[in-house]
Amino acid sequence: MFHVKSSITLDKYAPVGQIDERIYGSFIEHLGRAVYTGIYQPGHPSADENGFRQDVIDLINQLNVPIIRYPGGNFVSGFNWEDSIGPKDARPRRLDLAWQTSETNQFGLHEFMQWLDKVHAAPMMAVNLGTRGIDAARNLIEYTNFPKGSYYSDMRRKNGAEAPFNIKTWCLGNEMDGPWQIGHKDAVAYGKLADETAHAMRIVDDTIETVACGSSALTMPTFGSWESTVLDIAYDQVDYLSLHRYYGNQDNDTPNFLAQSLDLDDFISGVVAICDAIKARKHSKKTINLSLDEWNVWYHSNDHDAQDAKWQEHPHKLEDIYNFEDALLVGSMLITMLHHADRLKMACLAQLVNVIAPIMTDENGGAWAQSIFYPFMQVSTLGKGTVLTPIVKSETYGTKEFAAVPYVDGVAVLNDAGDTATVFAVNKSLDTPQEFTIAAGDFQFDQVTLSSQFAGYGLKETNEDGHMRLADNTSYYLADDGVHVTLAPASWNVFQIKVQ
């Protein structure tokens, strides 16, 4: 069989930046079955005394997710946070206008904070800047973060939480540039509201970090001007700017689909450039970093969702069943995100359970991992330390959208101890193996401790029966100049090497 050569060279003296592990975050929205029959299902055989599904908790803990965004998403723009606290039998049933479903509020703020302890994650809390604003946000942070002695902090204590929740990361609304958003605003109106809301919240707790809404997609007609206007107004009150990006293969064009990580790279680079331009214009010493707090593949469930009846409780919605090629793109997106570790400090795989998610549940059965679970798990558990500037050499191919797509995506991470390098690589060629060299560069390679591949599955193959597995790649050998290994066609690959 014909093989193509490619390589990645490790340069210890050219770091991209330290990885903020919040880049491996995720997202739970009151949407579909993400909450009800997802993470929360009283009476299920695996449910604990709080109704939290232990089988789901076990899978989430394998993913090592450090931060989880909540409660939305589009949902938050019509959400009254007060509905979700207090005795469950007194909580109101509401119409969720965003997804046109019925919300029972049986899982709310306190339940979410209790559940986070089970999955060892911190909250990224979003406030409603659609139908509400400054007043609701300042009351919410008083409830969650103020110790005691005020109306809302004492209400929290009365509801069973003596100590404050101390939520430190706050999203100032959701996708406020989108016409679909309840309470959608133009950039000037949103910038003023975000600035004033963050200011009021910081008076209650000056240790918080805030995330302003950037563009919902690179394709938004206001992209660029939205970011510039919002930051021009709210720069001093904002720590991060959000961006959202989803991809699909509706045209069944796999080579073009797998190339979409190049679009993500352009999106991130463009937003960084805008942030830095505003910084320069303001003569500011403060740097705005990025939060990619929604990203994934999303398209499989679109036809089904268009037929849903309105006002159901937790309907089957956005339940994409992911295939193997989706896992390859998710891997490439993770590699792209690591390339920007100097500025991309938070990210949320959207979402976590049942709704465009790596984890699915059966209401009357167990929980299972989708194909995209595996690359995410490996990067979130092994991708810790400093990203090294990637020097990747690869032949390229062209598609209808992209002129030169590298067959191989790759990135290298050096751990904090400086003795282990981890390389993540995707071979996007559908039929040709790659003779791949991990060149030692300024390092000395001592030993390969992990050589793993996710390969050999059909592009449209799914994991509904739980048969997919990571496998050892035994084709490697260690030489003076580095590690030489064969990357299978259409494969996700991980290597760990002891270095000096």
Query: Which residues are marked as active site?
Result: 175, 294
Is 299 in contact with 250 (CB distance < 8 Å)? Answer: yes
Beta bridge partners of 450: 496
Is 240 in contact with 346 (CB distance < 8 Å)? Answer: yes
- The Cα 291–Cα 313 span in angstroms is 31
Residue carrying the six token digits 């119409």: 95
- The Cα 391–Cα 443 span in angstroms is 14
Cβ-proximal residues to 145 (8 Å cutoff; 6+ apart), any chain:
164, 165, 166, 167, 204, 205, 208
How many Cα atoms occupy the beta-carbon half-sphere of 48 within 13 Å? 13
Task: Count other C-beta atoms under 10 Å from residue 351's C-beta.
Answer: 26
Q: Helix, strand, or coil here: 464?
A: coil
List alpha helices for 92-170, DSSP H.
109-119, 134-145, 151-158
Q: Indicate the Cα dihedral angle 113, 217, 299, 394, nearest 10°.
A: -110
CA-derived radius of gyration, the chain: 23
